[in-house]
Amino acid sequence: MADVRPFRAHVYDPDVAGPMGDLVAPPYDVIDDAERAELLGRSPHNSCHLILPEVAYEEVRGLIDSWLSSGALTTPDAPIMVAWTQTFALADGAERERRTIVAAVRVEPYERRVVRPHERTHAGPKEDRLRLTRAVRTNLSPVFGLYPDAAGAAWSAAGVQGPPDAELSDRDGTVHRLWTITDPTAHDAVAAALRDAWILIADGHHRYETALAYRDERRAADGEGSEQPYDRVMMGLTALDDPGLVVLPTHRLLSRWPESVEGLTSEPAADLDAMLAALDGAPADAPAFGLITSGGYALLTGAPDAGATPAQRLDVAVLERRVLVPGLGADQAKLAHDGLLSYTKDTADAADRVARGEVAAAVIMRPIPKPEVAAVSDAAETMPQKSTYFFPKLLTGVAFKPLDG
């Protein structure tokens, strides 16, 4: 099903551009203003100059060309894949390693079920990224995709061995190791291992849908013919069964909280730690989430809905269906658009924001287990945006994929 191939790439030459740690950046949508300023100042070649530029999008193509002319970016003679490990630790202190292969995946409409979404998207970010893609004619950041592979056949097929070609640590302390794969035999073996797989988008839905829209525009202009670079999108691919694949929750911050909530039981908790312990101990087969308001801490629980689909069973869906729509009059997308809903990944930050009066309530979510993420995909359903947080993020700057030539 999935058509995965190597790709002609632009890659940094550290001898000209500087250390890789000064050149990479997180995905554009997790960079705040302070980090953007820091990244732009870190190096004139930092990839943030491309994904969140100080100049008009139409000028970014010239920046890429200047980096190619100076040798800061170079184009390997043959197509490549990239093998990528990310070693990291969470709050429990246990070290984990996630394995990813960066390759070019043929763009397919969702209805073909080859590439599948798991979250809803919004029009604004897609239009923004499409304007940038039209200007630069390049995939700047990889989409993050997951595929079923219990045996780890695709990673084994890549034939990773020896010391990495590059190694760096990011702001979160994650250690990234990169191997450039140039062997056509390894390319073919990876493609064969993934040929019968489907791919679930973990992160980068807007980027994927932008790639699909751009492909359609170019096909309409160029006419049907042989395959072109814009028929494929750069993806980082990780097995759903990879032991280093971690799904974290994204907590909700609300400017208002309903005066009453029907159909949920509220159990007070003494403090944040007590609430988190209660949430962790709540039954997995019934909805539960923590609540922080000026009145204190509580665990909200409810009975499961009979006949609910995989997506409808999720805590984040129950929150929307039982609390936000009836109590605040809108779903999460509308509340976020209106500035009434925002997000945080840190429970202590959520509690602090409530204590300072910046928000009226914080809803603390449980992580969605990986089998439930897959079940939603299998049912051809989607979750509300920011239902999941896959950590660590894939960096921008490991490779760029030109869409011309």
Residue 119 has pLDDT above 90, yes or no: no
The answer on 322 and 287 residing in a single domain is: yes
Which tokens is 55 given?
Answer: 């100049």
The answer on 110 and 84 residing in a single domain is: yes
Higher model confidence: residue 82 or residue 305?
82
pLDDT value of position 289: 97
Tell me whether residue 222 is in a domain. Answer: yes
The answer on 266 and 317 residing in a single domain is: yes
Give every CB contact of residue 223 below 8 A, 6+ residues apart in sequence: none
pLDDT value of position 344: 95
pLDDT value of position 116: 94
Residue 225 has pLDDT above 90, yes or no: no
Percentage of the chain with pLDDT > 70? 100
pLDDT value of position 223: 87
* Pairwise CA distance, residues 237 & 144, whole Å: 6
Residue type, 365: M
* Pairwise CA distance, residues 108 & 390, whole Å: 23
Residue type, 63: L
Tell me whether residue 203 is in a domain. Answer: yes
The answer on 344 and 233 residing in a single domain is: no
Which residues in 216-295 belong to E strands, given as ranges? 232-239, 246-248, 251-254, 265-269, 288-293
pLDDT tens digits, 307-327: 899 999 999 999 999 999 999
pLDDT value of position 265: 95
Which tokens is 373 given?
Answer: 């993420």
* Pairwise CA distance, residues 133 & 138, whole Å: 6
* Pairwise CA distance, residues 199 & 1, whole Å: 9
Tokens 């988008």 appear where?
A: 201
Task: Label the pairing between strands 199-203 and 115-116.
Answer: parallel
pLDDT value of position 251: 97
The answer on 142 and 124 residing in a single domain is: yes
Which tokens is 171 given?
Answer: 């702001």
Tell me whether residue 59 is in a domain. Answer: yes
The answer on 95 and 53 residing in a single domain is: yes
Q: What is the pTM of this model?
A: 0.91
The answer on 275 and 134 residing in a single domain is: no
pLDDT tens digits, 248-260: 999 999 999 998 8
Tell me whether residue 380 is in a domain. Answer: no
- 154, burial (CB in 10 Å: exposed 0-12, middle 13-18, buried 19+): buried
The answer on 259 and 208 residing in a single domain is: no
pLDDT, averaged across the chain: 95
Which residues in 108-254 belong to E strands, given as ranges? 115-116, 138-139, 143-147, 166-169, 175-181, 199-203, 232-239, 246-248, 251-254
Terminal-residue alpha carbon distance, the chain? 26
- The dihedral through the CA atoms of 205, 244, 105, 72 has a sign that is positive
- 290, burial (CB in 10 Å: exposed 0-12, middle 13-18, buried 19+): buried
- The dihedral through the CA atoms of 377, 386, 202, 96 has a sign that is negative
pLDDT tens digits, 10-31: 999 999 999 999 999 999 988 9
Tell me whether residue 371 is in a domain. Answer: no
Domain count of the chain?
Answer: 2
Structural domain harbouring 101: 4-246+391-402
pLDDT tens digits, 207-220: 999 999 999 999 99
The H or E element containing residue 401 is strand 401-402
The answer on 273 and 146 residing in a single domain is: no
* Pairwise CA distance, residues 20 & 12, whole Å: 8
* Pairwise CA distance, residues 349 & 13, whole Å: 39
* Pairwise CA distance, residues 363 & 320, whole Å: 11
Tell me whether residue 78 is in a domain. Answer: yes
The answer on 293 and 197 residing in a single domain is: no
Tell me whether residue 375 is in a domain. Answer: no
Tell me whether residue 386 is in a domain. Answer: no
The answer on 41 and 127 residing in a single domain is: yes
pLDDT value of position 306: 87
Residue 146 has pLDDT above 90, yes or no: yes
- 8, burial (CB in 10 Å: exposed 0-12, middle 13-18, buried 19+): middle
The answer on 119 and 259 residing in a single domain is: no
pLDDT mean over 105-123: 90
